[in-house]
A and B are shown apart, each in its own frame.
Chain A
Amino acid sequence: MSSDKAHAAEISLERAHPSYVGIWVWLVLLMVAGVLASRLPLDHSAVVTLIFAIAAVKAGLVALYYMGLRFERGVIYAMALVPLALVVMLTFLLLPDFVFHHH
């Protein structure tokens, strides 16, 4: 990990803010897209895949731009991604007992 000085330098560079309002417009459009997608006359699993893909993009936009992950270093990414990976792993390891079992 690099030092605080380097970090301070980063701050002092008056980093170029992304257009927060622009991101918000995207978020709202994606929200509408998600709601519309849920009404699509498709296979249920396809609809579910679609709306969660849209949700993931929304969450990614918030995390990257509003939470500033885009401008962070690796350690902060790890703090966000390792728990996500653990949750996915937990979900998959629970599947055999609750979804694939036969009563």
Chain B
Amino acid sequence: MTVSVQEVPGVGSEEPVHQEPTGFWRRYIFSVDHKMIGRQYLLLSAAMALVGGFLAYGLRWQLAFPDTWVPGLGFIGPETYNVLITMHGTTMVFFVAMPMLLGGFGNFLIPLMIGARDMAFPRLNMLSFWTIFTGSLVLLASYVVPGGAAAGGWTGYAPLSARPIYTGVNWGLNLWLLAHAIEFASFLMGGVNFLTTAMTMRAPGMTFFRLPLIVWQELTAAVVFLLSVGPLIAGAVMLLMDRIAGTSFFVPAGGGDPLLWQHLFWFFGHPEVYVVLLPAAGLACEVLPVFCRKPLFGYRWIVYSTFAAGILSFIVWAHHMFVSGMDPRLAMPFSITTILISVPFAIMVFAMIATLWGGSIRFATPMLFALGFLAMFICGGLTGIFNGSAPANIPLHGTYFIVAHFHYTLLSGVFFGGFAGLYFWFPKMFGRMLNERLGKVHFWLTLIAFNATFFPMHFLGLAGMVRRISNPLQYPSLEPLQAVNVFITLSAIGLILAQVPFAFNIVRSLRAGEPAPANPWEATTLEWSTASPPPHDNWGETAPAVYRWAYEYSSPDAGEDWLPQDRLLALKP
């Protein structure tokens, strides 16, 4: 391939959007800098992960040792147990996974990777963070209002959630709805910002098919979110009306229909899975070629697969409702679309595997986590085939098989994809290197504990253990399997403890880590061509121009095994 200077249309970011602030408040708290906002999102996500992890610990303890004193929590009755599962799900999906994978990485990476100086709407960006921050406070406040926090499951199925009498929770569930509304508002602002930035502020030469994959996947996630959340917002308004204004949208006694809530919820709920999953896959896609020193295999095919997954995600939602009482004639069409969605994800997985072929693979910590994501995601994807087939779903629906499946897909995205990204970009974000040895300890402990926790859940689910029960010993058929539950709980505690080396690593590195060079991994995308951490306006005097795609590793045209996107090669004679 001949590398040449190309005259390519680009938009360019012509002016520095704002001045570097000097005061503490403007710099660290009410910052409009996408890099600071990205880090704020990551911090919020980590704080909420502590809450969500603590809830997981409480509910797992109750399952292993029912009705015993939980160290740190006390006795957990069935009411509290329902609060734990509801708030665990809500916290992890909406206040950990999304702020981390979209708010954190999206904000930090998109402007840097497209060569912009900031987001299109920096003040809106700040507002989006402080909006979700408020949403988190509302969610936390719901624990302390009279009646306690929401206990209707993270899916909030009506009529259980539509009338306080059914759960005994009044204000807690209203605040839970309010926290969702605020969270959605925040990500609507974020999504608008992501899309506008990428559409209008790419550096000269940064054509759409030169964008790094993570940008594509963040953008697809943003579109999918923007276009799917509306009906659920409408549904949430209706549910709130049911709770406080006496309407009966979802209550049959007043002429409503509970199935409507499920349709509105899952019309958003399934696309939401890809809102979380696609950025996680994108992070792994960025890391793999760097540590294989090899171009990402089939870049365009992955982009097309991402689109296909995003589009298909709008017509699969009823697979969550095969046994809900919906028209059985809908089941097979939705079963077919659901199983079809395995094709784009298969292409992504095969492309990642093909990237490994013929590489020169370095096993640094980000690479280990990216490989971990790949392996765990394959497991989660394969168990999805069981759930997606309507008849096979009948015995599995609502059991621990489902719990295992979505932890293998979503949690693998957050843990393995997210940590791959964090270990990879930490030097860029904070200007310090992380300790590799601690990182590897963290990886292996996490990998083992993750599988020990979630793999046995498949067996429990097949054996008929249903979700959301607080005491398996109430079921004679589950008594012989209690040892499995104990094993899972111990593994889950191990999984939480496995994060200690990570926390220690972060603190240690921030205090006394080795200063990071601009491009410690010898990577090609634009963010590595500026300092670590980047200056306030990202690029200093001259913003970069782009001459090639994002994955030019081991190119025969260059002596080194990497060619940055913005490096201009002399024309060949």
B122 at the interface (CB under 8 A from A): no
B9 neighbours in A (Cβ, 8 Å)? 2-3
CB-based nearest A residue for B195? A79
Q: Is the CB of B314 within 8 A of A93?
A: no
Q: Mark B229-264, 1 if CB is under 8 A from A, else 0.
A: 011000000000000000000000000010110010
Which listed residue, A75, A89, A97, touches B263 by the CB 8 Å rule? A97
Which listed residue, B199, B227, B230, B314, touches A75 by the CB 8 Å rule? B199
The minimal Cβ–Cβ distance linking A85 to chain B, given in whole angstroms, is: 10
Instruction: Show the binding face of B for A, using Cβ within 8 Å.
Output: 9-12, 199-200, 227, 230-231, 257, 259-260, 263, 267, 314-315, 318, 326-327, 329-330
Could you tell me how many residues of chain A have their Cβ less than 8 Å away from some Cβ of chain B? 17
- Majority SS of interface residues in chain A? helix
A4 at the interface (CB under 8 A from B): yes
Which listed residue, B200, B227, B260, B327, touches A96 by the CB 8 Å rule? B327
A1 neighbours in B (Cβ, 8 Å)? 199
- Majority SS of interface residues in chain B? helix
A20 neighbours in B (Cβ, 8 Å)? none
With A82-B227, A83-B227 known, 17 other A-B pairs at CB within 8 A are A1-B199, A2-B9, A3-B9, A3-B10, A4-B11, A83-B230, A86-B227, A90-B231, A93-B318, A93-B330, A94-B260, A94-B263, A96-B326, A96-B327, A97-B259, A97-B326, A98-B257
Q: Is the CB of B11 within 8 A of A86?
A: no
Instruction: Show the binding face of A for B, using Cβ within 8 Å.
Output: 1-4, 75, 82-83, 86, 89-90, 93-94, 96-98, 100-101
The minimal Cβ–Cβ distance linking A76 to chain B, given in whole angstroms, is: 11
B318 neighbours in A (Cβ, 8 Å)? 93
A4 neighbours in B (Cβ, 8 Å)? 11-12, 200
Q: List 25 A-B contacts (CB under 8 A).
A: A1-B199, A2-B9, A3-B9, A3-B10, A4-B11, A4-B12, A4-B200, A75-B199, A82-B227, A83-B227, A83-B230, A89-B314, A89-B315, A90-B267, A94-B260, A94-B263, A96-B326, A96-B327, A96-B329, A96-B330, A97-B259, A97-B263, A97-B326, A98-B257, A101-B327
B260 neighbours in A (Cβ, 8 Å)? 94, 98
Q: Is the CB of A97 within 8 A of B200?
A: no
Inter-chain CA distance A83–B227, complex, in Å, is 6
B10 neighbours in A (Cβ, 8 Å)? 3
A93 neighbours in B (Cβ, 8 Å)? 315, 318, 330
CB-based nearest A residue for B327? A96
B314 neighbours in A (Cβ, 8 Å)? 86, 89
The minimal Cβ–Cβ distance linking A96 to chain B, given in whole angstroms, is: 4
CB-based nearest A residue for B226? A83
Instruction: Give the interface centre of B199, B231, B259, B327 by most chain A CB atoms within 10 Å.
Output: B327
Inter-chain CA distance A90–B231, complex, in Å, is 9
Inter-chain CA distance A21–B199, complex, in Å, is 34
B257 neighbours in A (Cβ, 8 Å)? 98
The minimal Cβ–Cβ distance linking B246 to chain A, given in whole angstroms, is: 22
B199 neighbours in A (Cβ, 8 Å)? 1, 75
Inter-chain CA distance A89–B313, complex, in Å, is 13
A100-B327 in contact given A3-B10, A86-B314, A90-B231 (Cβ < 8 Å)? yes
CB-based nearest B residue for A95? B327
The minimal Cβ–Cβ distance linking A46 to chain B, given in whole angstroms, is: 27
